[in-house]
Amino acid sequence: MKVFPTLLAASVCFSCVTYAADSAIVETTNTSTYVLDQENQRLADTYARMLRYYDQRNFSSVRSVRVLMGNYPHHVEPILYAAFERYPNHYRHIIKAAIDAEPAFTREIISMALSLKVADPADIVRIAVEAEPSYAETIVATVDQMDPAQLDNVVRVAVMTEPQTADSILRSNRNAELSKLESVLHTVLSAAPALGSYLVDTISDLIGSNDADDTAENEKQRAIQLIRSAYNSGGVDEQQVELLAAKHDLTDAELQLIYQN
C-alpha cells in the first residue's frame, strides 16, 4: 500500500496553531515499551517519515496529526505511535487533535494513549472529555477495561471536567455489579453534589433492575444501597431521599437503614 506518496499528495487545509505551553509539559512517553506487530510497525515507520516531512514545511504537531487521522483513521495505532514518539511533549495536543479529527475512534485513541503511558490515566481522561464530552462514557469505560483500579479517579475527573457527562456515565454502568455501581454513584455526586437534584430520575432508573427474574425484595435492597450511596455523598438531601424511597415502596424502617449509614 503506497501510503507515503498518496498522503503527500493530499490537500491540506488546516490552520497552524502554536502552543506555548508545550515546553512546560514533562516528557513521559516511552514507545520502546510498546510492541507493534510487523504491519503496524511498517506503517508507523511510514508515518514517522510523513511527520518529518510535515515538520520541514512548518506544520504544527496538531496539524500533522489531524491530516494523518483525517486521511487514514483506521491506522490509529501506527499514527499515534509515530506521533507520540516524535512529539512526546505534545501528548495533550496529539490526543485532542486525533479525537477532533475522528471522534468515532475515541476508544482506540484512548487505548493507545493508555498503552503508551503518555500521561496519568486521569490526565488522559480530562484531555479526552474536554475534546469530546459526548464520548465521556466510552472514555471512562476504556480506562475501566484497561486499568479498573483507576475507575473512581477517572469518573471524578470526567464529571469535574464536564458535569453534563454524569448522567451518561451513570447509565452506562447500570448493569455493573451493585457494589461498583454504588461506588460510581458516590464518586459522581461527591465530585459534583449540585447535580443531585438533576439526577434523581437517573438514580430512580438505576434502581430498577434489568433482571426479569429479580425479586421485589432484591430491588428494595438495591434501592436502599443506591439511595444510601447518593445520600452519603452529599448529593441528595432528605427530601429527595424520601421521594426516592416512596417511589420504590420503601417502608419507614427501610428508610431508616439509609439514614443510619
* Cβ–Cβ under 8 Å, residues 31 and 81: yes
212 lies in some domain: yes
Q: What is the pLDDT of residue 219?
A: 86
28 lies in some domain: yes
Q: Are residues 114 and 219 in the same domain?
A: no
Q: Are residues 206 and 107 in the same domain?
A: no
Q: Are residues 45 and 109 in the same domain?
A: yes
Instruction: Give the integer Cα–Cα distance in Å for 24 and 132.
Output: 24
Q: Are residues 4 and 113 in the same domain?
A: yes
Q: Are residues 112 and 30 in the same domain?
A: yes
Q: Which of 103, 119, 135 is the last residue of a domain?
A: 119
Q: What is the pLDDT of residue 217?
A: 81
202 lies in some domain: yes
Q: Which of 100, 119, 138 is the last residue of a domain?
A: 119
Instruction: Give the integer Cα–Cα distance in Å for 261 and 90.
Output: 46
Q: What is the pLDDT of residue 48?
A: 97
80 lies in some domain: yes
115 lies in some domain: yes
Q: What is the pLDDT of residue 160?
A: 97
Q: Which of 75, 102, 119 is the last residue of a domain?
A: 119
Q: Are residues 213 and 114 in the same domain?
A: no
Q: Are residues 12 and 113 in the same domain?
A: yes
Report how many domains make up the chain: 2
216 lies in some domain: yes
Q: Are residues 108 and 188 in the same domain?
A: no
Q: What is the pTM of this model?
A: 0.82
| 3-state SS record for the chain | CCHHHHHHCCCCCCCCCCCHHHHHCCCCCCHHHCCCCHHHHHHHHHHHHHHHHHHHCCCCHHHHHHHHHHHCHHHHHHHHHHHHHHCHHHHHHHHHHHHHHCHHHHHHHHHHHHHCCCCCHHHHHHHHHHHCHHHHHHHHHHHHHHCHHHHHHHHHHHHHHCHHHHHHHHHHCCCCCHHHHHHHHHHHHHHCHHHHHHCHHHHHHHHCCCCCCCCHHHHHHHHHHHHHHHHHCCCCCHHHHHHHHHHCCCCHHHHHHHHHC
Per-block mean pLDDT, blocks of 10 residues, the chain (261 long):
40 32 38 80 96 96 96 95 96 97 96 96 97 96 95 97 96 94 96 95 87 73 95 95 94 92 65
221 lies in some domain: yes
Instruction: Give the integer Cα–Cα distance in Å for 226 and 205.
Output: 11
Q: What is the pLDDT of residue 35?
A: 83
Question: Domain of 221?
Answer: 173-261
* Cβ–Cβ under 8 Å, residues 131 and 99: yes
